[in-house]
Structure 1
Amino acid sequence: MLTRRTALTLPFALTATPAWAAGNPLAFVLNSAAGSVSIIDMQTRQVVRTAPTYREPSHWALTRNRSQLLICDAGGNALFFFDPVTGAPLGHRRIADPYQIGFTPNNKYFAVNALRLDFVDIYDATTLALVKRFKAGLWPSHLDFSPDSRWSFHSMQNSNTLVSLDLTTLTKRWSVKVGETPAGVLWLNGKVLVCIMGARGFVEVDPLNGRITRRVVTGDGAHNIFLDTRRNILYVSNRGPGQTGLTALDPETFEILHNYLIPGGPDDIGIDPSGHIWVCLRYAESVAVLNPDTGAYSTIPVGRSPHGIFLSTLLRQKGLITAERI
């Protein structure tokens, strides 16, 4: 049995869980204003358990061996660990203001955007020992990496910049203005895409020098951006204020394929094996399950301000699993 004392000293590397196990798949919904994680049976679409965190769960990352789902609690200064198959809690570990997190593709480093404290921390991915702290801008928000793990990219919401770090020398490469209130970041086809909430869309940035090469309008408060690696569709969540929903685009041409109007402030998404899109509705205390072929959706009540979502069906996929490539 885990006590508070053992949870605080829990080793980072635990015994591996099989990549897939018997039982109904689960959706983990991170309720930022409720200090909890709603765990949903994906077949019955019912909340089967509500796991407490400290204050403000927001985003997630999966360990390389897929044995642990890490959920960051920025306001609580902690990482919470769950078994991604069963939903069993595996303890927690204190860490400064983890708002957005990610492992480098080579699993050498673990990056943390500390939005409240205005720094980016680079940790050793195995031990979680702090390697380097960067004061890169105001309100570090979202992040992604180059596939070769050489560079990281971090949006600074209150500096209106995108910052790139060199992870081989642990130095800052460049910082460029990209637009008002940048958020979601995604590496795609050799470029970096950054959602610009104040510009109703996203920009494409050259990773070598930070030069903006394209601008695309999607909708009000374009907040986060995702690649469906099975259907090869790019999704942008338009969180508002104003008209809210999802925009589906061709990932090569950025041609808009469909706009889905979904009230309630869509934020992070997950896509299940049937192609249905699970959408956190930040302002509606619910998750929408959208059929992208018809545009119809149903909702599942969860906690206040649902933010990030992880579907255990992702464990069936080959390759690296991140919150941005689903």
Structure 2
Amino acid sequence: MNRILRVATSCVALALLAPTLLAPGARAQPAPHPERLAFVLNSADASISEIDIDSRQEVRRIPVLREPHHMATTPDGRSLVVGDTAGNALFFLDPVTGAMQRRITVSDPYQISYSPDGRWLTVAGLARNQVDIYDAASMTLAHRVPAKAMPSHINYAPDSSTVYVSLQDSGRLMAIETATGRVRWDSKVGSTPAGVLWHEGHVLVANMGTDFVAVVDPADGHVEREIHMAAGPHNLFITPDHKRLYVTCRVSGTIEQLDWNSLDVVRSYRLPGGPDDIVFGPDGSMWATLRWRQHVAVLDLASGRYTTIATGRSPHGIWLNTALPGRRISMLIGRSATPMR
């Protein structure tokens, strides 16, 4: 009797499922690939997480060689370029789907950044103590500039004439003419400098070994002011509307908002787990990689509440493809570093 009941129950279940079963000869259709994606570089897992922005779920991982840290889009927006520093390679991906386009050999591409005019690609070789400036169109090496110790973060003057590179292990910032490779100056700015950002005619440098961001005169490299905040300021980011400025402080586990004009700290967000790189979502939320938690946090800036999404080990650079031309604005990023490698 029990056996008859189990068979009858199974038949009822199959009947209920019948509308969803495939017809004879039909093929199962894969779920559509999300078009709105976040790309997260898992530095300790040699992979890239693709996250559906809308569902906030990881949909797949793309393998690379050894140690991806940073990325940038090509000036024409047709490729997302990922630097695999220990693998000595640049991966060019389709920025909409993540499909691999090509791979080229490049020496130690820890941090990579295209100039505002799209002419140059600067590569900071943190392990090899070199800064390489490439012609972006042909990817031919134009200049190789020796650096004193651990070049990590990159930013340009708005006219692309000068590229500024922080040197983590020497506490210095160097200014290089992009067209010639000539070092204009090399100045002490603090302890373990990382993030570099041009802001209203000055260069801001986050010093991880201190509690301040240095305000640097781009003409000669002298520090004009120290902006004190939580411990370990690491990197700096501007919102897409150019109205707000944020600093990630990995040591303290906070993100500090600075007033655009005075540069004073106006708000602090608690975000444990080593907040590193951030990007702004199409809904105005902030996405931040948490290097020590294997997660990305999605932060509501009004309330300060956040949720997390699991990733691979040591998530570092992050970018949302809603930043592409014709899409709702986000912000290109992936410009950060780890202290002492």
TM-score exceeds 0.5 = yes
Q: Deviations over 1:281-307 (max 9, x none)?
A: 000000000001001000000000000
| 1:272–1:123 distance in 2 versus 1, CA, 3 Å | same
| Structure 1 residue aligned with 2:241 | 230
Asked whether the equivalents of residues 53 and 73 of structure 1 are also in contact (C-alpha less than 8 Å), the reply is yes
**2:45 partner letter:** A
Residue segments in structure 2 that go unaligned for 5+ positions in a row: 1-32, 336-341
**Secondary structure of 2:236's aligned partner:** strand
Residue 249 of structure 1: which of 255, 258, 269 is its match? Answer: 258
How far has the Cα of 1:321 moved from its partner? Answer: 5.0
**1:47 partner letter:** E
Note the aligned Cα RMSD (angstroms): 1.7
How far has the Cα of 1:218 moved from its partner? Answer: 2.1
Residue 41 of structure 1: which of 27, 41, 52 is its match? Answer: 52
Residue segments in structure 1 that go unaligned for 5+ positions in a row: 1-21
**Displaced runs of 4 or more, over 4 A:** 317-324
Q: Deviations over 1:29-88 (max 9, x none)?
A: 000011000000000101101000111110111111100000101011111111111121
| Structure 2 residue aligned with 1:95 | 106
Q: TM-score, normalising length from structure 2? A: 0.85
**Secondary structure of 2:235's aligned partner:** strand
**d(CA) in 2 for partners of 1:234, 1:320:** 13
How far has the Cα of 1:232 moved from its partner? Answer: 1.1
How far has the Cα of 1:202 moved from its partner? Answer: 0.6
Asked whether the equivalents of residues 64 and 320 of structure 1 are also in contact (C-alpha less than 8 Å), the reply is no
**Secondary structure of 1:199's aligned partner:** coil
| 1:209–1:319 distance in 2 versus 1, CA, 3 Å | farther
Q: Deviations over 1:223-270 (max 9, x none)?
A: 110011326111100001xx3110111121112221011110000011
**d(CA) in 2 for partners of 1:55, 1:320:** 26
Asked whether the equivalents of residues 314 and 321 of structure 1 are also in contact (C-alpha less than 8 Å), the reply is yes
Q: TM-score, normalising length from structure 1? A: 0.89
Query: In percent, how many aligned pairs have the same letter?
Result: 43
Residue 122 of structure 2: which of 88, 102, 111 is its match? Answer: 111
Counting only pairs closer than 5 Å after superposition, residues 102-141 of structure 1 correspond to structure 2 as 102-141=113-152
- The alignment of Structure 1 onto Structure 2 pairs a total of residues equal to 301
**Which moves more between the two structures, 263-272 or 103-112?**
103-112
| 1:24–1:260 distance in 2 versus 1, CA, 3 Å | same
| 1:269–1:177 distance in 2 versus 1, CA, 3 Å | same
> Is 2:267 the counterpart of 1:276?
no
> Is 2:263 the counterpart of 1:263?
no
How far has the Cα of 1:91 moved from its partner? Answer: 2.4
**d(CA) in 1 for partners of 2:85, 2:330:** 28
How far has the Cα of 1:141 moved from its partner? Answer: 0.6
| Structure 2 residue aligned with 1:302 | 311
**d(CA) in 2 for partners of 1:300, 1:49:** 13
> Is 2:220 the counterpart of 1:209?
yes
**Which moves more between the two structures, 311-320 or 76-85?**
311-320
Asked whether the equivalents of residues 62 and 322 of structure 1 are also in contact (C-alpha less than 8 Å), the reply is no
Asked whether the equivalents of residues 24 and 43 of structure 1 are also in contact (C-alpha less than 8 Å), the reply is no
